[in-house]
Amino acid sequence: MLLLAIGLSAFSQEKRFDSTALLILERMSGLITELQSCRLKVHATYDEFASGLGLIKHSEDADLIMRGPDKLYIAMKGYKGERSFFYNGKTLSYYSFSNNRYAQLPAPKTILDLADSIYTNFDIDLYAIDFFYPDFIDDLTQNSTSLALLGQETLNGKTCFHIAGCMESFSYQIWIANDPFSLPVKVVLVYTDTSMNPQFECDYEWELNQVYPDAVFEFAVPPGAGKTNIIPLKK
């Protein structure tokens, strides 16, 4: 929800969109929304303010497996500990390796509805989920004031289109592979409305349309694990 988590308000300044950048983004979005399944490995870094120290950079690695509209597995390891999420279309299960605790709650019928629900109720972001929304491009252009193609660069051995844009509260950069799949390779956000301009950065590795059995998305309670609750945010 990182790119889309701002109000859907119009900006007064004139929008400046590069038509080639928009075409590249539309191709990327079209291909991602047609995927039947994928595995996505993510390396993320993000800044947090610490009193007396300024911005401190943290990191996290994530492994996401998605299948169809209603199967999702996520494993995360980093500054916030090691934890996993299992979603089978009916139930969301959360497990913390750090303290051997788990929680389960009823879940919506699709991955996208689940993403909306856990972001709203628990402030949990699913890495790269923005790209899977069918209206991603519409939301991006509605909320951006500028969009430009900066050229091509090589990242992780891939030639990528480098696209940059601005919204009301942050600027963003997206590197998209210049190949038949046109998948995002890297994203950087700079929060321009926040003191010291903290950044969020993600690198992506994709595996497409593989067969992932149902067992991947089912949670089995580990021996000795204690049950806990996930407390929703106060409204």
How many folded domains does the chain comprise?
Answer: 1
What's the token pair of residue 224? 């000795």
3-class SS at 4?
coil
Q: What is the pLDDT of residue 234?
A: 55
**Residue 205, in any domain of the structure:** yes
**Residue 36, in any domain of the structure:** yes
**Residue 226, in any domain of the structure:** no
**Residue 121, in any domain of the structure:** yes
**Residue 231, in any domain of the structure:** no
Q: How far is CA 161 from the centre of its chain?
A: 19
What's the token pair of residue 9? 């308000």
**Residue 233, in any domain of the structure:** no
Please report, for the domain that includes residue 68, its CATH number. 2.50.20.10
Q: What is the pLDDT of residue 11?
A: 41
Q: What is the pLDDT of residue 125?
A: 87
Taking only the tens place, the pLDDT of each residue in 36-85 is 999 999 999 999 999 999 999 999 999 999 999 999 999 999 988 999 99
**Predicted confidence band of residue 10 (pLDDT cuts 50, 70, 90):** very low
What's the token pair of residue 230? 């996930």
pTM above 0.85, yes or no: yes
pLDDT at residue 12 tops 60:
no
Residues 6+ apart with CB under 8 A from 42: 60, 61, 62, 63, 64, 127, 128, 202, 203, 204, 205
**Predicted confidence band of residue 1 (pLDDT cuts 50, 70, 90):** low
**Residue 207, in any domain of the structure:** yes
Q: How far is CA 232 from the centre of its chain?
A: 20
Task: Give 143's DSSP letter.
Answer: H
Range of the domain at 84: 16-221
Residue 192, CA atoms < 13 Å, CB-side half-sphere: 9
Give the C-alpha separation, 168 to 219, whole Å. 40
Taking only the tens place, the pLDDT of each residue in 86-134 is 999 999 999 999 999 999 999 999 999 999 999 998 888 899 999 999 9
**Residue 230, in any domain of the structure:** no
- The string over 75-98, giving b where at least 16 C-beta atoms fall within 10 Å of a residue's C-beta and e elsewhere, is bbbbeeeebbbbbbbeebbbbbee
pLDDT at residue 235 tops 70:
no
pLDDT at residue 8 tops 70:
no
